[in-house]
Structure 1
């Protein structure tokens, strides 16, 4: 009851504040020439069927391709500047591995076998691994960000939410688009897309993109660029519509990232002046490649039933390294390799009646993630090889149905049953020498028996229901209340050291989130569109990774540490102040705290809290905070558009985004944790009268803010007092020219 009372109080405050803002606006019709601001005009597929955004009882942010182009967005991580409760970054030491958190729930560790807490979808295909998932804005129709647990329709590993990258469909007319860009640090982007119908029933689309940029800094040991970009991407699709009731689409995508390894910046002596420079000696070679292909088929059996099949295969490879000490010698170096592949099959039945609709289906996935890395501690002439794999077989059945009792009142109920079978293999062996035979040192000498060497299988089952009630206060204003449950699958710690922590062979259990959400969304006076929500989440059995120095190596513990409570409020809105001026904004607040956090203490005295000399678990919730979860985030932008007499137009979009202070890990690290900061951007885009030629100028991080996106902390003489941080991009300027044939 206490949770419900607090949620209701937050809702009352949000609704009252919204009413005060909305009633102050002027009621004037919007020009048809300008971008629509009505939520009802935005169509999304958040519930696996096409619906007006205003009618979806889910907190969803939908960003169109036009909006992304006007902002000059380079990749999906920039969504965090304008989306409530969202954190998106490149992983520590990576250029293209995605780390995502929504409402305090996510996963920072991209090691093979660890599942994300936010699901990523390219169209309807689930992307199980985060490598090469920092998707560049290329051939996209829109991006949807679904906040809160999506366990009913999207299943496992969407306890924080889901991000849907929706690509363009092939049009009825031939089209060709080319775009070129030049910017700071010799940035060169080239994109091209050709889409054309081959016949009345067959269409083909091919697109390719090339992204090059010098580094923001330099590796002073090797002389190579640091924080550079060298990415090639391609997409192709074939669409066949043999009749009005049948549709088939084959789509393929490929990404290759040959950007140099990203080693970070020492935050402890010796410290370099530039946050983007390093003295790493582990090497700059880095290679990431992912591929995917899918077949989607739709059959409109009748006016009320459509059957859909989605068959997909994806695989990827990663070869790289991180120099944890950021010094020329091999004090703490981590060369690594990852491989993964996944096959998935989903069948859906979509129903549409006079006053009811829904979707039901089954899902199957067979995936393998494997890899190896060395932990090189040069001062001890010691290398620890960690290798292994996780095989996952997952299947589920799901359904979600909505019934309209009246034109105003709708009720939705749904549920999903998921069964996972995971087989984990973990091997951990120490060698005398710099690097193991796996990473090129054939002369390395075995040191004792393997510290970890096991293969185990575990099964996890979960039912994730959801229910919601929606009420249309007016045709343009909808309120809803929902309750949902999501879970992230259990697994095995790929770094687990069975000598230091014997229980690692048992693996860890799933984690779950239950969320109550109250929302209000709609359009007022034809000028003000908005969505606001309050939520209260109960987070149980959280999987937390803790790494710590252990003698001459680094140990790891992954366990279900306890429970926490997450409450918050979100608002996003768009106001057409005049026919020429549109103001957009968002604000979110998150109060996240651990109720219990059972931390593993590797050694300790024999007392009532630690009865063994090997180690124990102690509740340290009062000394832990959520990572990657600022209390406040906000953004405001304005787009001023001027139409010339010849029909061309120019749009100016300045923006400011605020991000509150946040920690890199659950344990405070003053030299790594990020203080609050503002980010300022601005764009000017001119579009020709026939909508063919576009010229844009974009400035990012205009105040040249230095902000941390990740870090590592391994104190100690043997590890070189490793304390390194990774930084977001500095101030940049880019000029873009695009032409549509």
Structure 2
């Protein structure tokens, strides 16, 4: 639930907002965000205002002795309206709840919104995935946009990972569930997260927060800010800055170093210019930086059949004189990293945006113009173990985005209409360098002997000339032994995208109690991609030379399931990520135009009961898989029927979501309690799946996926100063089609095949969230706050496809508890807090197949218990 408290009665800002044309302007359409900073900065009263679809509506009257919550308003639909009058499934979260929960970035929001899941896998900047109702798109590949859109102050973030910096002061966050195509500038196929930050206001103010952790991670951080009225009632400036540092919670047993640390800083400068009583302009300039070690993984299962772990141990003994094997115990969060390798993840994000709100009399006009840049550089020990098999050496990713949105919102009789135009430009530049490590040759050769009857554990320089090609074709000329550092010399990708869309979202009052909503959108998008790929590996070149001399027989050999063992070995020596077979210059383009929209009807049986039903179509554009491993190739040549390689083989189709939804919104107990229920059925066509197969990422459109379930939410204030919330989501999300992600290569084990009826990964069937907040006045100048929230997830498979038969990557049910106790001045001038996160010290994880190590599985594990204190001062 998102709660916004209005200004103190009688203040200058309150009078401005109630009586002036500017005040009326700020209470309509997208311009509402300019009011929020002023509203949140004033002293708070017990009255609550709520924000959701974007039409202004008055709180319901209630007996004076009862504290109600019926004034909650949501604005994500472009208008300000009561939450209970919104025919959209939305979870609204106030800035106070964000603070009390300890939410530092968007990944923590799953604690508060039960239908939302945000996970980071191999990288915080590149591997963060947001899912709503089980639907999300892996962001490990920069060519993929997210199924869930993130908007901060109305500005679209092109990837979820670009929004995982420390959050500034938050006015509210709204999580919209289901396709969103007629409410935001950018369309989304699964849902949207709308973040509204605190803005400038026309009074002087300063604030400071300092945080210290008492656990092993030793967190320390501070944020400072100030608000300056430059011209009284006309121009105000606001500054927010923060720094945060913390030790890591993942331990490398080989070096003794820790990973998953925090080292972040951010700064925001804002200006609010009330140009006239009818127009205002809000400008934001921001930058955030991070330099962290992310993301490690711990073993959850070692190979017990093919002897892979025995091979690794034998090389460990040769290199270091002792095994460097991390224990199978996810709670200990341990791993073993190759000497000289690291997981450095450095990001820099910056941008400028300008939001103009202008009352034209017959309609409210708004314009949001933004330019953003995001850069990430990261290293990675790709094999996630002590021996040096593969590593990533300074991958560089850069996004440059320009967006322009125009909206016009007005009323004419029984029609409340909204028209919008959205234009976007995006340039993605990716330079990747995946290379063989110092132990690649020894590992491959030792594993070959183990798989073909040789002695496991035998290791020596004399093996360096062995080629797997000899096992298939007999002895022949080989290239020199593989050397450390071979692989991608530099794979460079550039993708340019342009898109324009028009959209409309309209509400027609059929009667006083019945409203029809009609929305329509048209998208036109153009993508142009270029690639310059250069790689060299002696190991694979030897195989490719002789495979080309006998190509038909070679293809027959590799497509024969009886030869799985040798095919796997060749796959290891000619992995798609560094295979010279696909070297070259490439260019391609695609264009698509699609319609989407929504149709719903809601009926008020009374002032306290509303039901609605509707259907909507969501759409997410197609694109290019920016990964050479996606070409239509076997390890030793083009796939059958493929004459040559082209970027068309890396294309994936657009994704569609048909959503059917019914909902009930009720207010009971004299306005003190909301009970909301939503049922949904989503049919996804050409679902964009990005899965890790242990070597590279497989991209495919799954023809049919289903996501259906029920969402139940309660928000209540039974007595003064006590707030309760409770939410339950039942989710049944599954593949409705069988797909082999290894195609055209057979998959006799089924490891890389999803079967119709199989559940989507990391989507628990049941999720429950709850929270309680109580304030108590201890004395005239002292107030206490007690806060506790909890989230319970049922057991779930964290990996599919590739899930091991043992179920080692499955997660048991888990409960996460956060708490906070605070004392401070009733006026909010100061507050001292003692907090704890993950109080029960539970851990959840996302599993995946260990690269180049068949039968071994790893997992990214969440943070352990942390606790500390925070001091807040406001003036």
Q: Do the two structures share a fold, i.e. TM-score over 0.5? A: yes
Distance 1:635 1:76 in 2: 17
Distance 2:502 2:751 in 1: 37
Structure 1 partner of 2:521? 416
Shift of 1:620: 4.6
Asked whether 1:542 is paired with 2:599, we answer no
Summarize the Cα distance change of 1:621–1:226 in structure 2 as closer, same or farther, 3 Å threshold.
same
Structure 2 partner of 1:355? 414
Distance 2:702 2:350 in 1: 36
Shift of 1:687: 3.0
Deviations 1:613-641 (A, max 9, x none): xxx99985237421221111001222232
Distance 1:640 1:555 in 2: 50
Deviations 1:563-606 (A, max 9, x none): 0222110011122333353321100001122221332444557x
Deviations 1:146-175 (A, max 9, x none): 000002223655111000110112222111
- Which structure has the highest strand share of the two? 1
Asked whether 1:383 is paired with 2:453, we answer no
Structure 2 partner of 1:700? 837
Distance 1:123 1:504 in 2: 40
What number of residue pairs does the alignment pair up?
685
Distance 1:459 1:232 in 2: 39
- SS at 1:231 equivalent: strand
Summarize the Cα distance change of 1:623–1:630 in structure 2 as closer, same or farther, 3 Å threshold.
same
Asked whether 1:231 is paired with 2:277, we answer no
Asked whether 1:530 is paired with 2:589, we answer no
Contact 1:90 1:134 in 2 (8 A): no
Shift of 1:206: 0.6
Structure 2 partner of 1:14? none
Contact 2:141 2:625 in 1 (8 A): no
Distance 1:178 1:87 in 2: 31
Aligned CA-pair RMSD? 2.8
Distance 2:753 2:780 in 1: 69
Shift of 1:284: 4.0
- SS at 2:292 equivalent: coil
Structure 1 partner of 2:593? 461
Summarize the Cα distance change of 1:543–1:328 in structure 2 as closer, same or farther, 3 Å threshold.
same
Summarize the Cα distance change of 1:156–1:664 in structure 2 as closer, same or farther, 3 Å threshold.
farther
Selected match of 2:123 from 89, 93, 110: 93
Shift of 1:267: 2.7
Alignment of 1:237-636 (within 5 A): 237-269=270-302, 270-272=325-327, 275-281=332-338, 282-302=341-361, 304-335=362-393, 336-353=395-412, 355-378=414-437, 379-380=440-441, 381=482, 382-384=486-488, 386-432=491-537, 448=580, 450-451=582-583, 453-495=585-627, 496-500=630-634, 505-506=647-648, 507-525=651-669, 526-548=671-693, 554-602=695-743, 620-622=754-756, 624-636=758-770
Distance 1:64 1:619 in 2: 42
Shift of 1:663: 2.8
Summarize the Cα distance change of 1:46–1:30 in structure 2 as closer, same or farther, 3 Å threshold.
farther
Deviations 1:628-675 (A, max 9, x none): 211110012222322223153212122321012233333234222322
Structure 2 partner of 1:102? 132
Summarize the Cα distance change of 1:68–1:548 in structure 2 as closer, same or farther, 3 Å threshold.
closer
Deviations 1:512-550 (A, max 9, x none): 00101111123212221232200011111111124436x
Structure 1 partner of 2:242? 209
Deviations 1:311-342 (A, max 9, x none): 10001111112223222332132332211110
Contact 1:493 1:557 in 2 (8 A): no
Contact 1:82 1:634 in 2 (8 A): no
- SS at 1:37 equivalent: coil
Structure 2 partner of 1:192? 224
Distance 2:583 2:699 in 1: 17
Deviations 1:337-394 (A, max 9, x none): 2111101111111113453322101111010112132333431445245431221111
Distance 2:751 2:793 in 1: 34
Distance 1:246 1:371 in 2: 41
Summarize the Cα distance change of 1:423–1:583 in structure 2 as closer, same or farther, 3 Å threshold.
same
Deviations 1:684-733 (A, max 9, x none): 1223122211111111111111210x3431465xx486532111110110
Shift of 1:499: 3.0
- SS at 1:77 equivalent: helix
Shift of 1:90: 2.6
Structure 1 partner of 2:101? 71
Deviations 1:213-252 (A, max 9, x none): 1111333344433111001011111111121111111111
Shift of 1:95: 6.5
Structure 2 partner of 1:713? 849
Structure 1 partner of 2:31? none
Q: Select the structure of larger CA radius of gyration.
A: 2
Structure 1 partner of 2:168? 138
Distance 2:148 2:275 in 1: 37
Distance 2:706 2:733 in 1: 6
Q: TM-score when scaled to structure 2?
A: 0.74
Summarize the Cα distance change of 1:218–1:95 in structure 2 as closer, same or farther, 3 Å threshold.
farther
Structure 2 partner of 1:18? none
Deviations 1:39-83 (A, max 9, x none): xx1222221122222222100111111121222322222221121
Summarize the Cα distance change of 1:555–1:475 in structure 2 as closer, same or farther, 3 Å threshold.
same
- SS at 1:172 equivalent: coil
- SS at 2:97 equivalent: helix
Shift of 1:122: 0.7
- SS at 2:676 equivalent: strand
Selected match of 1:661 from 781, 785, 795: 795
- SS at 2:118 equivalent: strand
Shift of 1:560: 1.4
Asked whether 1:651 is paired with 2:771, we answer no
- Which structure has the highest helix share of the two? 2
Distance 1:505 1:173 in 2: 56
Q: TM-score when scaled to structure 1?
A: 0.87
Distance 2:64 2:762 in 1: 39
